[in-house]
Amino acid sequence: MRLHIVVVTPDERLSSYVDKKPDSLIPDSVSRKNLMGGKDIDFSIYSFLANRGTGDLLLRFLNRKMLGADGMIVVVDDDLRGDTIAIGESVFVASMNRGFGGANIQNYFRKLFARVLRNFSVYANLFENMKFRKVFLLPLDNFLALEIGTMKEIFWDQTSAANFSDNLGETLKALLDRQRPKRKGENYDTVYLRDDKLRFFKYGPEKHSKLETTIPPHGLLCGMNGYFRFGIRFDNDLHFNVSVEGKEAKISGRFTDCHAAERDVAATSHINMFPNGFF
């Protein structure tokens, strides 16, 4: 796995340290063989100096780093979290204290990365299993369920927490409890995830529809969210079929697309919807 880590900070001293001594930030206790099931991991650590703000500058920087990455972790200064909330769907976000908790830079980041990398490994190992991957990849703005909000909160606020694994496991179980056949009496060969509006989401295996990310009309986030989910690259050729119960039933209504625009869909047998919301 090619794992890219970006430290987003307005602190020129920290930015310079990260660029000059990136390897010193990874603790000796973090063995590549203890992460992601023993897979080979190639770490690359970068800084993004946010002294001119974040916005599109940060998005363009992350887009470039994503090109050669299988995984993306972004560590954000606490004071910038409100400005970077938009990246939380595509990357694995952790926060840092600008004062380093009274420690020096190296000791602070070694302690932080020990927790963050452990939790990222937990998530990455779950993501390997299609049973869980289809849950992580649900279109977050269109699958209406309280558990989706909980999952987003875990990946935004708890990526360095000791209880990350337990909380994520509980939320996954609650979402998996939504699995069922679409029609009574149907066997479990085809299983759907049903949201609170009684819409059925089935992931793959068709690849007949293609994700569109061309700018314009799409924005940078459309592409980021179309290739990565919470820091892991996924197969962008697969999509969800979204439908409703009933052999001849038609689905219609208003849905949110990948650039946060609401669009009405006329009655149809199903909707081809990608994880980033493109349909």
> Has residue 191 got a pLDDT over 90?
no
Residue entry with tokens 């496991």: 169
Q: What are the chain's domains?
A: 2-128 (3.40.50), 136-273 (no CATH)
Grade residue 107 by pLDDT with cuts at 50, 70 and 90: very high
The type of residue at 218 is H
d(CA 266, CA 154): 35
Tokens matching residue 274: 């990608």
pLDDT of residue 188: 59
User: Residues 155-171: pLDDT tens digits?
Assistant: 999 999 999 999 999 99
pLDDT of residue 184: 66
Q: How many C-alpha atoms does 147 have within 13 Å on its Cβ side?
A: 20
User: Residues 4-25: pLDDT tens digits?
Assistant: 999 999 999 999 999 999 999 9
d(CA 177, CA 247): 23
User: Residues 33-53: pLDDT tens digits?
Assistant: 567 767 778 889 999 999 777
d(CA 1, CA 43): 9
User: Residues 68-78: pLDDT tens digits?
Assistant: 999 999 999 99
In this prediction the pTM is 0.94
Tokens matching residue 134: 């289809």
